[in-house]
Each structure stands twice: as C-alpha cells, then as structure tokens.
Structure 1
Amino acid sequence: MTKLSVNINKVATLRNARGGNTPNVTKVALDCEMFGAEGITVHPRPDERHIRRSDVYEIRPLLKTEFNIEGYPSPEFIELVLQVKPNQVTLVPDDPSQITSNSGWDTKNNLAFLTEVLDRFTRAGIRTSVFVAADVEMVEYAAKAGADRVELYTEPYATLYPKDPEAAIAPFVEAAKTARRLGLGLNAGHDLSLVNLNYLYKNIPWIDEVSIGHALISDALYMGLEKAIHEYKNCLR
C-alpha cells in the first residue's frame, strides 16, 4: 500500500500571514491523521516562513503516524532532526531563498557530503530519503551514499502529464525500477494532484509514500480537509 503523507507547510503559511495561531497547525496535523493520512510532512526553512522549529517540537510527540521532516542538511537542520528523531528525514538541495524545492540532488557530485550526513541520521535510527530527479544515475549514487529511500521529484511528470502521460511517466518508471533493483525504498512528491496521482500509482504501484501539500490543501478549500484526504487516498488504490 502506498501511504499518503500530508505536507502541512501551506497551513503554516496561512497562519503566519496574520500571526496568532489560526489555523492551528498542530490541530490540522492531528486532524489529517484522524481523517486517514498515514503520515505528516513538514519542511522547516531557516526563515521560518511557514513551519517553525517550535511547530516541529510540538507536533512530534502527538503524532501516531509517521513523521517526515524534509530540508537542506545545514548544521541547524541536522541538530533539529537529531533532537526530534522523526520516523524519516528527507534531504533536499534547497537554497534558503527558494520558494519551494524545484530540483533533486546531484548525488554523484555530492556523494561525500551526503554519505556523511546520511550516516549521522542512520546511526540515530532515523530512516533516510534523498530527493532526486527521475535519473537512473542519481538514484544509483543515492544508494551508494547510504540512503534508505529516494523521493522522486515529480514536477516534470506533473507538467508533461496533461499533454503526454506516457512520455511523462516513462523516466519515472525507469528510476523506480532502479531503486527497487538496488533495494531502496521509494517515495514521490511535488505537484502531485487528483489529476495525475492515480496514473503515477498505476504505473509504479510499489511506491512506499507520496508527500502532498499544496494541491491537497488547495482542494480542501473547496471540498473540506476530510474529503480531500479521502479523495487522494482513493487515487492510491
């Protein structure tokens, strides 16, 4: 079964726009669990423009499902993850000024750095995932670095899907097959939606987890959070 992890960054963005605690990010995370999500994802950035470090500390002990923290492995991020000890840490190659994660790691050229960071998390008992493009070589070097999983960066798939679904999915199937051959777990995320999620799942049914935030929270504005989560879960059947 492919698990749905809800990224709640956009909820924090809405809260931060007015200050205070509305909407309550922790309550939304717990509601997502209650409505059927199998995990919660957060991406704390250095400027805390959405998820704050305090959110991470508050949410962690309350969750009953998987907790995934993603981010660039700066010293501050590494310290946070080692203190909180989520179920999974996902490394992304973000510059602090980026609006969102829009590329995967060059795992070949960053092999030594990734190997060192992944080893620290592994020794702490935290499952590791590396954000990569649908590129066989990048998947192979993620395995060499010692990752437990890779997360395929799916924006290129989502962009091409409306015009040519078969062409859009092809490189992702090859990357996914490589991950499976190497014994890596497989996650996917970025721009996945009710439009394109089921096709991805049907072609790569061994995906362990999809992380979805922007589209799901946007859909929840119209259909409500509970129904939105159910609709996304229906795409994974």
Structure 2
Amino acid sequence: MRTFAIGDIHGGLKALIQLLNKMEIKDEDRLIFMGDYVDGWSESAQTIQFLIELSQKINCIFIKGNHDVWCENWLRGEHVPPVWYIHGGKETMDSYAGFSEDKKKKHLAFFESMPLYYIDSENRLFIHAGFTSMHGVEKEVFKENFYFDRTLWEMALTMDNRIEKDSALYPNRLKHYSEIFIGHTPTINFNVNVPMQAANIWNIDTGAAFTGKLSGMNIDTKVFFQSDNLPALYPNEKGRNKN
C-alpha cells in the first residue's frame, strides 16, 4: 500500500484529477488530504462531491482546514464572516448554485466528519496548520490552532539543521512525532514551488490557491507529483486573494 499526502486543493478540481492521474492511484493506496478543499477556484462544490465519491472507492482521510470550517458553518446556516467571503467564500457559494438541498446536507455531513488531525501507526502526524502545545496535539487547549497556527512551521524554518532530534535544543513540540505533514502556508510564499522540509516537518501546500501547483507526496519515499499551475488550468479566473 502506498500512502500519499495531498496539499490544499482550494476548488481546483481539474488540478486534483490531473494529480491523481499522474500518481496512478490504485485501489489499495491511501490518500491523506491536508485540508482546504474549497475557496479559490470555481469548482469547490464539485470538488467536495468528487471527494465524497472517491472515498467510496479508495481509502481516504480528509483533514479539516480553516476554509472547510467556514464552508461548513455556511452550509449549516450560520453567519458568513467577511474574511471568508473575500478570501474565496463568494466563489464557493456560487459553486453551490446548482446543488440541491439534499446534496448540500450530504456535503455538510462530510465536513462535519473530518478529523482535525490524524496520527498513523508510525507516529506521523497529519494536520492542516499546526499546534502550540509543547505536549503535543492531545494537550492543545485552543483547537482552532489545528487549522490556523503558522508558528509550528515558522519555528521549524528558523532551526539549524545540524541540531539532532535527541538534543535538548530540539523543540519539544517536534519531538512527539516521527514526522509532521502540514498544509495551510503555501511554499510559494518562500519562492519554492515544490513541497518543503524543515526539521521533521513536510509542507505539502504548494500554492494551488494562487499561482502554484497541487502536490501529492508519497510519505515513505518522499517522491512527489504535481499538477500544472492552477492559473493555466483555469485561465479565465483569478484564484483567491492571498491569505
């Protein structure tokens, strides 16, 4: 069985289909999606429908991202915050125009079933953004950090790569897991268009919401695959405002 971690899709269904074809996904493979399935390109609702159907054929784990929380709240009938509306929410709402109330309820249930993190049998953590507790995710007080925190990745980026994991200088937050896989903070913010590693963290979000590509990485071999740049797949659209 191969296991792939897949970065933030942001409504780019064309990129997802292209990526899955490049990875030559088999029935026995497992896909771990890092969150943010909606908000950005024009096919958010269609992406959710595709993922629901995909999960009926193959083993999938869908981590919840901050944009998924906003969409879930809207589908539940809650207030639409301006920050969501201007950062992809409008496009997501528009993408649901042709969907029945019954399908919207099924999508809501899909969002509600998403875990905030996943730890596999080899103690690898999969989480959308990060966490702040030095005792690990189980001790996190503010669950919003799981899909909003950027300090975990920022800390890893500043580390001297000569520091060994058993050193007293190695951050306690990172010692709890053999590896950590995240999305949320696009690597293109650092002028990198492929997955990035810092300490024992792998960042799989390569900027599909903006000018980048959608990426999928084999978590064992670290071989990765990528779609085309999203603006090339959606030439008549702008994508999402950067946030």
Instruction: Give the alignment's TM-score, normalised by structure 2.
Output: 0.43
Structure (1/2) with the larger helix percentage: 1
Which is bigger in relative contact order (C-alpha 8 A, separation at least 6)?
2
Name the TM-score, length of structure 1 as normaliser.
0.44
